[in-house]
Copies of this chain bind each other. A is one copy, B any other.
């Protein structure tokens, strides 16, 4: 009856249903009541009850103080052992590569760590002349499009004092940086033009996490001569990929496995 996914193979509905329950709980990162889960699964109360009990026993689910279900100890054990960016990168990698193919330029993924901006993944340009790998290299946030994203979307506070000038184009006045951020938000993407290195341009957009907060920035960089006339195209391209990534972070569950 009902509908669910109709994916079932044979001889596995118990496990399939159980997995669906766990998936429901993990997706909704808020605690879910028994009733919620019962409704969401469409199973009989008795079945739901037995399954939840089994899942709890197995450490996949857990009950909070109010008796609602949340992800169990296996999940936090996993989380405690693994770097969260590792997961982000994993989720994002395919997107980065597609963008790389579409634009032929270097693609970057950055996160805010404390009050700094750190690159966590990069796909290299196809051109000989391109941005080199700067994963884990410290670049002042106000000089790269990636960094500006965090300022523009207020994931990082704009520094108070005057900022270091790396080139004649670098924005050193915090007030101007704020204005720059406002424009970026309106446009949907942040840009940089020779503010880090003369001749180096970049475009970047925010990646929103499950709760709408900015968790990362996705960007492209390359020689100004190749980018300056394509900023809009690139920005839109990045935006669409970022949206998909956000959806992934929100929902996960790759529709199809590998080929």
CA distance A84 to B252 in the complex (A): 19
CA distance A73 to B88 in the complex (A): 11
A12 interfacial contact with B, CB 8 Å: yes
Given contacts A82-B79, A87-B80, contact A58 B26 (CB under 8 A): no
Which residues of B lie under 8 Å from residue A252 when comparing CB positions? 59, 73-74, 76-77
Which residues of B lie under 8 Å from residue A26 when comparing CB positions? 74, 77-78
* B12:A54 contact, CB within 8 angstroms: yes
Question: In angstroms, how far is the closest chain B Cβ from the Cβ of A114?
Answer: 7
* A54:B16 contact, CB within 8 angstroms: yes
Binding site for B on A (CB under 8 A): 7, 9, 11-12, 14-16, 18-20, 22-23, 26-27, 29, 50-51, 53-60, 63, 71, 73-84, 86-88, 90-91, 113-114, 209-210, 215, 249, 252-254, 257
> Can you give 8 contacting A-B residue pairs, CB < 8 Å?
A12-B51, A15-B51, A29-B82, A60-B60, A71-B78, A75-B79, A83-B84, A84-B84
**Extra contacts besides A23-B58, A77-B253 (10): CB < 8 Å:** A12-B50, A15-B15, A15-B51, A19-B60, A23-B59, A26-B77, A73-B253, A74-B75, A76-B86, A78-B79
Which residues of B lie under 8 Å from residue A82 when comparing CB positions? 29, 76, 79, 84
Out of B18, B53, B210, name the residue touching A81 (CB < 8 Å): B210
CA distance A20 to B53 in the complex (A): 14
